[in-house]
Structure 1
Amino acid sequence: MWTIAYSTIRHRHGRYDMPTWLFQGSPKDFPAFNDYLRNYAEISWHVRQKRAAEEIYPDDEVYIWRLEGNRPGTGGIVAHGILMTEARVIPDEGKKWWVSRQPGPTVPSVDITLDDVRLTPEEGCLTRADLLQDAVLWNMHVVQSPHLTNYKVTPEEEERIATLWRAAKR
């Protein structure tokens, strides 16, 4: 019995609670949002929520959520990656061009290696409209109240997102 239960738990770096994250950005605040995701396999993302910063570790999975900005119907999950670092305060040198409003100097960031970027429905992004129709995901915090930058995804949400993400691959 113990062997079966133990084998079903994700385990890396001595941790059994490997969360999945959803990091949000807006084309209004990040004018080069799509170009940034499309052109760089390794990116940095700010972690504005203190609690999230304390819970983020390398190898956690992350999905990138794009707000609609001024383009209705374009919001949703547009990329997937793996966190490479813990949240830490580092100079944003060389990356300032993609953010129109810089956060304060004490806002930490993480590095992410992107492994899948899908900026359009034709490429297989998961649109906000589609997620609103999903029995599990319609009530996700980012769907109902998109005012934060970093969201911890529940295990049920993570499983459903992963299933939909795999199914939408073009």
Structure 2
Amino acid sequence: MLWSVTRYAKDMVSGDGVLIWVSGEQAGIYAIAEILESPKNVATPADIGYWIDTSRASNRTCVKIRFTSKLLDKPLLRENLKQDPMLQHLMVIRVPNGTNYKVTPEEWQRVHELRN
């Protein structure tokens, strides 16, 4: 699956982990994925049908990912993450208007502890 990259493309490499955040009333981490290839510019992304204004979809930087864990039945919700001493400082919680965020190794480890 291709995923849009808006920041940190030069820092992403194959094997890096990804946390998939869903925003909204029940915001939180809903999946974990792995980067399969370095980011690249894609003229016409596979999800072109998703875009109302298709001019915004062309020539996007994307990274190929593979889901390794889906947490759809038990997502790690923002309200709970805000109570966790390690995860309350996630950038997606502090500055929610962005798209791609870095996660520290300690935050990554804590997410894996909580999902089990």
TM-score (norm 2): 0.88
Shift of 1:141: 0.9
Match of 2:6 in 1: 48
- Structure 1 residue ranges (4+ consecutive) displaced by more than 2 angstroms after TM superposition: 91-94, 97-107
Match of 2:88 in 1: 138
Match of 2:46 in 1: 94
1:118-141 Cα offsets, whole Å, 9 max, x none, are 22xxx1210001101101111211
Shift of 1:93: 4.2
> Relative to 1, partners in 2 of residues 1:124 and 1:143: Cα closer, same or farther, differing over 3 Å?
same
Match of 2:78 in 1: 128
| Correspondence 1:147 to 2:100 | no
In the alignment, residue 53 of structure 1 is paired with which amino acid?
A: A
Match of 2:61 in 1: 108
> Percent identity over the alignment?
28
| Correspondence 1:63 to 2:19 | yes
Counterpart CA distance in 2 for 1:100 and 1:78 is 25
> Relative to 1, partners in 2 of residues 1:98 and 1:115: Cα closer, same or farther, differing over 3 Å?
farther
CA contact (8 A) 1:62 1:83 kept: yes
SS at match of 1:115: strand
CA contact (8 A) 2:44 2:59 kept: no
In the alignment, residue 45 of structure 1 is paired with which amino acid?
A: W
Normalized per residue, which structure has more strand?
2
In the alignment, residue 102 of structure 2 is paired with which amino acid?
A: K
Counterpart CA distance in 1 for 2:12 and 2:35 is 8
In the alignment, residue 110 of structure 2 is paired with which amino acid?
A: R
CA contact (8 A) 2:29 2:75 kept: yes
> Gaps (5+ residues) in structure 2?
none
Shift of 1:63: 1.1
Q: How many pairs were matched up?
A: 115
Counterpart CA distance in 1 for 2:20 and 2:53 is 19
CA contact (8 A) 2:34 2:65 kept: yes
1:4-34 Cα offsets, whole Å, 9 max, x none, are xxxxxxxxxxxxxxxxxxxxxxxxxxxxxxx
CA contact (8 A) 1:59 1:83 kept: yes
> Gaps (5+ residues) in structure 1?
1-42
